[in-house]
Amino acid sequence: MSANTPDTPAGQGRGPLLARWIVAGPLVLVASILVMAGMTAWFPEGAAGINHLAFPILLFPAIWALLFFYALLDARPWRAGAVILALAVANGVPVVSAVQTMMQGAG
Amino acid sequence: MIKLSQERTRRLIAVHGWSAVICGLFLYVVVLTGAVAVLVHEIGAWSVGGSKVAEPMAAPVDATLRELIETVPEAQREDVSLFGNAAGEIVAYFHTHQQNPASGNMEDFGTLMDIDPRSGEVLRSREDYGSEVFNAGPGDALDRFIVDLHVNLHLPEPWGLYATGILGLVMLVAAISGLLIHRHLIKDAFVAPRPTGALLEKKDRHVLAGTWGLVFGFVLAFTGSFFSFATALGLPLVAITAFGGDQVAALETLSGTPEASDPAPVPMANLDAIHARSAAEAGSVPQFTSVSHWGRADSQVLVFHAPSEGELTGTTNLFDGATGEFLGVKPSLGTVPSAGTVAFDLMGPLHFGHFAGLLSKIVWVCLGLAMCYVTITGLQLWLQRREEDPLWRRLASSVEVVAYGTPIGLAGAAHVFFLSYGRADTHYWVASGFIGFSLLTIALGLLLPRAALHRTLAGFLGALFVLLPFTRMLLGGTPWAEALAGGNGVVVAMDCVMVLSGVICCRVAAGLGWMPRFAALTPRAAT
């Protein structure tokens, strides 16, 4: 913490600041969870057939950090939000499909 | 050197500061207990006065196991786990798998026995689920309390793991934003603290410790949040997507459990011979042995070894339980080596620092303590700039209370452990001791003026540390001569570490600085 500047970035309105909070906070968290779960569908299985299971769990902190800093450093928070949302939706499809199959099986 | 616009740098500084202010004190508790937990095996051995034998898993165990397995209910004879505890006893867990009504999860359930490796006598026996039964002996109270405080802050599952996982992510943010903020990384690594003003000096020390600990902080945060989220979040989610929610199937695929089953009864191979062959293959004594399907044709024995000389990760050897045939080295994940296995295998050594024995552990402890220093000085810097505000001033006292209160609580818990060991329920009294000494520190924080708080708490902590070896020995702990004669130098070494830590705290309390200064060598003396 070597701050010698104000806590709120100067020259930035409440709107973009709130957008950045939403994108870098809850949206990034949900997106990184969905990316981790969805990765099992597209990540290569590898010789042992476990890479698609192991790497999503191993990389979760890195996925979150990458998305968080992208949301934090992009000049336009809404653009970052749109990219992260698209990533979340693309990876969320296999997750939703698996949950639906699970529910049907349980029913 | 990373160039960022002024606007982006401002955002990074705000995130670096606010994340530390909101989570810094919790992060400090987790990192401090983590630094202590690196020496958990040594603390365990010290707390019970040393190990009965140097390598309990090297002792013959086959005949004892064959006798004992006949004494447990038949349903619990499915699998057997074996390992040595800090007291040098063999721990054998005869178990089956069933749903734990408390958690709703499939768990191991069976009878755990602590066995004297010299006589084969059962010292203690208890029946419970796997999540409850391990490290529940009276001698495990102190090390288990420290590990649980680090792993889940003693919160119920899975909330504790979520909490420490989030703290890991906060530390990751602090490390990456710290790296991006520091424009002169190499220069910062060699900055000399200037004694011109308190704030400058504190900032220099924060930057210096932070720069040197940056990579370590990143590694610690990444691996720590992985360990927290892997079982609490990652495995259930991956199981939903890839196995329709079946966590057992996901675990079996990850661990590479064979699908073929043959329940035909067959006599077990000799475990002592398996251990001897495994030790010859791995170059070290077994650390943990897992026997699946005891007495069946499809029985398998997995023998885990710590990293041998020159290796970063340990080895797991696989044997046929019925014939004793060596089937080869088993990867920790899956059945054949893969990139996922290599990455997974690196997580443990990087987080626990046990890859090069005591030396790497000491380095990990020192770097962990440096991270604690960075957290506390960072918070102090933030608060020092805002000391005009009464709210921030109150938080400044809290920083002192938590910074000293956590080690005071731990040292107090150790005193209470020695008082209760062999006399009362150590698990209950260790927790009570920690809470009691923490409350005492909070009371001192409320009663004492801030100017006197720092020195009083440092003195209190120093006294607790210095007195620990005396409490241990006066209450029946192993004396130094006996410990050294029994090959338990760790007991003497830990006593010396306690006294040394106490002396350093007492020096701080006396306003002398943490170590003696040699006038001719210090920049202060030269100017």
Write the residue in A7, A40, A61 that is nearest to B242 by C-beta: A40
* pLDDT tier, B516 (very low <50, low <70, confident <90, very high otherwise): low
Alpha helices per DSSP H over B230-262? 235-243, 247-255
Confidence check: pLDDT of A12 > 80: no
Per-residue pLDDT, B346: 93
Confidence check: pLDDT of B418 > 50: yes
Query: What gap in Å lies between CA B316 and CA B330, rounded to an integer?
Result: 5
Q: Chain A residue closest to B227 (CA)?
A: A58
Angstroms from B410 CA to nearest CA on chain A: 28
Per-residue pLDDT, A17: 84
Q: Which backbone phi and psi does B127 adopt, to 5 degrees? A: -115, 125
Average pLDDT on B334-355 reads 90
> What does the buried/exposed string (b/e) look like for B102-120 if buried means 16 or more CB atoms within 10 Å of the residue's CB?
eeeeebbbbbbbbbbbeeb
Average pLDDT on B495-521 reads 79
Between strands B300-305 and B286-292, the pairing is antiparallel
B336 and A CB contact within 8 Å = yes
* pLDDT tier, B207 (very low <50, low <70, confident <90, very high otherwise): confident
B150 and A CB contact within 8 Å = no
Q: What is the mean pLDDT of chain A?
A: 85
Question: Which residues on chain B are in Cβ contact (under 8 Å) with A42?
Answer: none
Q: What is the mean pLDDT of chain B?
A: 88
Per-residue pLDDT, B525: 40
* pLDDT tier, B125 (very low <50, low <70, confident <90, very high otherwise): very high
Confidence check: pLDDT of B502 > 90: yes
Confidence check: pLDDT of B81 > 90: yes
Per the CB < 8 Å rule, is B253 touching A53?
yes
Per-residue pLDDT, B193: 63
Query: What gap in Å lies between CA A15 and CA B340, rounded to an integer?
Result: 43
**Spatial contact of B90 and B108, defined as CB atoms under 8 Å apart:** no
- Concatenated DSSP letters of B307-337: --TT-SS-EEEEEETTT--EEEEPPSSSSS-
Q: Which two tokens stand for residue B475?
A: 């209450």
In chain B, the percentage of residues whose pLDDT exceeds 70 is 93
Tell me which residue of B146, B87, B30 sits closest to B413, measured CA to CA.
B146
B226 and A CB contact within 8 Å = yes
Phi-psi region of A9 (alpha: psi -120 to 50; beta: other; left: phi over 0): beta
**Spatial contact of B116 and B75, defined as CB atoms under 8 Å apart:** no
Average pLDDT on B52-81 reads 92
Per the CB < 8 Å rule, is A3 touching B14?
yes
Q: Which two tokens stand for residue B373?
A: 């220093």
Q: Chain A residue closest to B172 (CA)?
A: A65
Residues whose CB is less than 8 angstroms from the CB of residue B474 and which lie 6 or more positions away in sequence, other chains included: none
Q: Which two tokens stand for residue B318?
A: 């696989």
Angstroms from B227 CA to nearest CA on chain A: 9
Question: Which residues on chain B are in Cβ contact (under 8 Å) with A11?
Answer: 7
Query: What gap in Å lies between CA B224 and CA B153, rounded to an integer?
Result: 14
| Dihedral over alpha carbons A73, B183, B385, B174 (to 10 degrees) | 50
Confidence check: pLDDT of B526 > 70: no
Angstroms from B58 CA to nearest CA on chain A: 32
Which residue ranges make up each domain of chain B?
Answer: 391-527
Tell me which residue of B418, B526, B420 sits closest to B192, measured CA to CA.
B526
Per-residue pLDDT, A3: 39
